[in-house]
Structure formats: structure tokens, C-alpha cells
Amino acid sequence: MANKLNIKNSLFVSVKMIRYNLRIIFANKFIWFLMAAFAFFMFVSIITVYNGGNLSEGSIYYILFFPGILLIFYPSVFGIQNDDDSRMLEILFGIPNYRYKVWLVRLIMIYILVYVITLLFAVLASVLLSKINVFEMTYQLMYPVIFLGSMAFMFSTIIKNGNGTAVAMILIGVALLMLSDAVERTQWNIFLNPFEIPRNLNEIIWQGIITKNRIFLAISMVVFILYGLFNLQKREKFV
């Protein structure tokens, strides 16, 4: 009986903690980014269908990509500032192993939520546009989305201002888009579309490029997150 009570109390505390952290992370503004992501998805889908575009897996990947960026943008860019605005930083820095017990958990929560919402968008795309493997599509989309989200988190710990981080990420995004043509067929292309094989390229070679690209993005995510968490140990720079 005592064990059941302890389990029930632990679950209750965990749910309360998750809800509390989500309120801080999204600060009641995430709904606007969610609405913008959905509006963009519907607008591009309608335009594509109206123009009789080729609704292949490759084109649906691009349709879902920008909504994914919108979903990850706000919590990763403004998360630190939200803590500061809610006067939570001083409290959080008093917790032992701050980087592991607080923001690492928050990042996982953010990525899971973005994955679930993107999966729902993929389901809509499969129903309304063209039949796709929604789990494979969402899995592949998470690589560049989490890569950019982790990069934004890292820069937020350096700049320590949401608006400044947003400007920096927009400039970086523009620069990456400008460079995308030069690295289109290489593993270094952040925006590589695994469902769209370039012309005159062997399929086996293409699969190798995709695998190396995903490894590159995964390693970069880890480096960005660890560097951001390391920056959060420097209490004097935040409080």
C-alpha cells in the first residue's frame, strides 16, 4: 500500500513538474508559433495542390520542414530569457548539477513535443496530399530541426537575450540557405532532403551521403547541447 502511494505521489509530482516547466518554456506564446506552423502548412499544401504540383515524398518533406523550424524556434531561442523574466535563474542555479537536472530535461521535453506535433502534421499530409510513411518522414525531419534547435539553444546561452539570439539565428539560416546550393550533393548540406535523389547520382552513393549527413547532424546536436549546458555553469554571467 505504501509503495502504491509513493508511486502515485511520484507520478503526481512528475506531471506537475512537466506542466510547470512547459509553462515557463513556452510562456503562453508557443500557441502563436503553432498556429503559424499550421497556417504555413495548410497554405503551402493548398497552393501545391492548386498548381498541380508533384506531391512526392520529397516535396512533402519540404512542406513539413518550415513548420518544424517554427515549432522549435521559440522555446530554443527564448527559453533562457523566459527563465530570466520569470526570475527563475537564481533559483535554478542553486540546484546541484543544474545543467543535467533542469535544462537537459527541458530540451528533451521540447524535442518530444515538436516530434509529436510534426508527426501529426505528417499524418495530415499523408491523408490530404499523398500517402507517405509518416514515422520515417518525421524521423528524417527531426535531424535538421533538432540541429537548428540545439544551435539556437547554444547561442541563447552565449547571447543571453531572446531577440538577439533570434536575429543571430535568422542570419545564420540565411547564410546556410545561400550555401545550400554549393553543398547540395554533400553530407554537409543541413537542408538535405533524403527523399529526393539528385539526377545522375547513384542510389548507393546517395544513401551513403544521407547516412554521413545524419551522423554529422547528430554529432553537431550533441556538441551544441553540451556547449550550451557548459555555458550555463557560469552563474556570474547570467545572474
Q: What's the average model confidence in pLDDT over 71-88?
A: 70
Inter-residue long-range contacts of 31-38, CB under 8 Å, 24+ positions, other chains counted: 33/70, 33/71, 33/73, 33/74, 34/71, 34/117, 36/70, 37/66, 37/67, 37/68, 37/70, 37/71, 37/117, 37/121, 38/67, 38/121
**Does position 86 have pLDDT exceeding 60, yes or no?**
no
Give the span between the Cα atoms of 38 and 118, in whole angstroms: 10
Report the pLDDT value the prediction gives residue 85, as an integer from 0 to 100: 53
Q: How confident is the model at residue 169 (pLDDT cuts 50, 70, 90)?
A: confident
Residue-range domain boundaries for the chain: 2-237
Report the pLDDT value the prediction gives residue 135, as an integer from 0 to 100: 92
Query: What percent of the chain has pLDDT above 70?
Result: 74
Q: What is the pLDDT of residues 115-168, one digit of tens each?
A: 999 999 999 888 888 888 889 999 999 999 999 999 988 888 888 777 888 888
Report the pLDDT value the prediction gives residue 81, as an integer from 0 to 100: 66
Cα 186–Cα 108–Cα 78 angle in degrees, nearest 5? 85
- Are 109 and 18 contacting, i.e. CB atoms less than 8 angstroms apart? yes
Q: How many helices (H) and strands (E) does the chain have?
A: 9, 0
Q: What's the average model confidence in pLDDT over 207-232?
A: 89
Strand ranges inside the chain, DSSP E: none
Tell if the pTM clears 0.85, that is, is over it.
Answer: no
**Does position 12 have pLDDT exceeding 80, yes or no?**
no
Q: Which has the closest alpha carbon to 22: 118, 145, 106?
A: 106
In this structure, the number of other CB atoms found within 10 A of the CB of residue 49 comes to 13
User: Bigger pLDDT: 42 or 51?
Assistant: 42
**Does position 197 have pLDDT exceeding 50, yes or no?**
yes
Mean of pLDDT over the chain = 79
Q: Which has the closest alpha carbon to 26: 94, 79, 102?
A: 79
User: Bigger pLDDT: 54 or 143?
Assistant: 143
Report the pLDDT value the prediction gives residue 236, as an integer from 0 to 100: 47
C-alpha cell of residue 116: 509529436
Report the pLDDT value the prediction gives residue 3, as an integer from 0 to 100: 56
